A = this chain, B = another copy of it.
Amino acid sequence: MSALSIIFLGTSGAVPSAGRYLSCTVCVREGELLFFDCGEGAQFQVLKHKMGLNRKTKIFVTHLHADHVLGIPGLLHTMKLLGRTKDIQIFGPEGIKLLIEAFSEVTHLDPPFKIEINEIKNPEENPVIYETEEYHVEVAPLDHGETPCFAYALVEKPKPGKFNVERAKELGIPEGRLWGMLQKGLSVKVSGKTINSKDVLGPPKPSRKLVFCGDTRPVKSLAEFAKDATTLVHEATYKDEHKNKAREYFHSTASEAATIAKEARVKILLLTHFSSRYQDEDLDQLLSEAKEVFEKTILAQDDMVIRIPLDDGKKFKIEYL
């Protein structure tokens, strides 16, 4: 099972605040960077922390509000100037293509790498928007008023358990092609006898599911979408005191986010996207309101890294860049 981290590059909501850039959360998986939103200033953080501009990279945009997308053009520009050669893929709601293309045309970006832009249409009918041999990414609609907004889930595929070499030899299975088939979960025939993969494989290795949400009112359907997720990154723009504002502007309070996390039975809840009006003591209050509902809640900070454990028995580790 591969190393997996979530890095928060920007955790302020709508307007930047002291020490907090605009929305940008990066999942690092097997050396690949998966951006979930990319607010203005993302390139400053990527450069400062030497995260690498020529790595395999994808950008998933939850919705087309300025504070979630304006970092993309500058990141692409700097990637070009600093010699990126690898193609890059961008996923987002309808309109993302016009935004990136208008910018590229007007500023003569002309990068030496391909920018593949995928607009997400009919997410209810086609929730899986990307798939590799190791994971898939699926989307679910959220409720941010008139603005289409998504939650993304990165779901790892279950991997077969450890191959028991001694047992395979006992069963008289010759080393080579048949071992490979069994390791992939297939059955084989040896001397007319069928051997199932489970006869020689240990229990499947745990797969992980990470959910990243955009701006939203708390939505019931998200609890199902995020069911049993390893991590849920959810906005918490307001504390309970301002729940009317949360309703008015189609955002969530921390305790509303925690209620979803509890219902979904996620391992940990990571709160981000805080109103820039809040001072440290407000955020302490916001966190404690969430913890009253769901204890395993972490308040994201810029530069915070969450190292996801290989399996459920181990602890999440918090580090800083």
Chain A residues packing against B (C-beta within 8 Å): 14-16, 18, 21-22, 40-41, 43-44, 47-48, 64-67, 69-71, 73-74, 77-78, 81-82, 95-96, 98-99, 102-103, 105-109, 146-147
Contact = CB atoms under 8 A, between A and B. Distances in A.
21 contacts: A16-B43, A16-B44, A16-B78, A18-B48, A22-B74, A40-B41, A40-B71, A40-B74, A66-B74, A66-B77, A66-B103, A66-B109, A70-B74, A98-B102, A98-B105, A98-B106, A99-B102, A99-B107, A102-B102, A103-B103, A108-B146
A110 to B, nearest CB: 11
A108 B147 contact: yes
B108 A47 contact: no
Contacts of A74: 22, 40, 66-67, 70
A58 B69 CA distance: 24
Nearest to A69: B107
Nearest to A99: B106
Contacts of A106: 64, 95-96, 98-99
List the number of copies, as a whole number.
2
A102 to B, nearest CB: 3
A22 to B, nearest CB: 8
A24 to B, nearest CB: 13
A50 B65 CA distance: 24
Contacts of A146: 108
Nearest to A42: B40
A99 to B, nearest CB: 4
Given A40-B44, A103-B103, 9 more contacts: A15-B47, A40-B40, A64-B106, A66-B73, A66-B77, A69-B107, A95-B106, A98-B105, A99-B103
Contacts of A77: 66-67, 70
Contacts of A16: 43-44, 47, 78
Contacts of A40: 40-41, 43-44, 70-71, 74
Contacts of A44: 16, 21, 40-41
Contacts of A96: 106
A193 to B, nearest CB: 63
Contact of A15 (B41, B73, B82, B109): B82
Most chain B Cβ neighbours within 10 Å, of A95, A98, A99, A103: A103
